[in-house]
Amino acid sequence: MKNRVAFLLWAANPGNAHLCATPFFQAAVAAAMEAEVEMYFTNASVRLLAKGVAAMLPSGPRGRDTVYAFMQRAAAQGVKFYACSQAMEEYGVSEADWIPEVTGVAGAAVYMARAMDDAWVVITY
Q: How far apart are CA 8 and CA 121, in angstroms?
A: 11
The pTM of this model reads: 0.96
Pairing of strands 80-83, 36-41: parallel
Cβ neighbours of residue 98 closer than 8 Å, sequence gap 6 or more: 49, 50, 51, 83
Q: How far apart are CA 90 and CA 20, in angstroms?
A: 20
What pLDDT, in 10s, does the model give residues 65-86?
999 999 999 999 999 999 999 9
Quick one: pLDDT at residue 118?
Answer: 96
Q: How many domains does the chain fold into?
A: 1
What pLDDT, in 10s, does the model give residues 81-105?
999 999 999 999 999 999 999 999 9
Residue 44's domain comprises 4-124
CB-side neighbour CA atoms (13 Å) of 15: 8
CATH label of the domain that carries residue 19: 3.40.1260.10
Pairing of strands 36-41, 121-124: unpaired
| pLDDT above 70: percentage of residues in the chain | 100
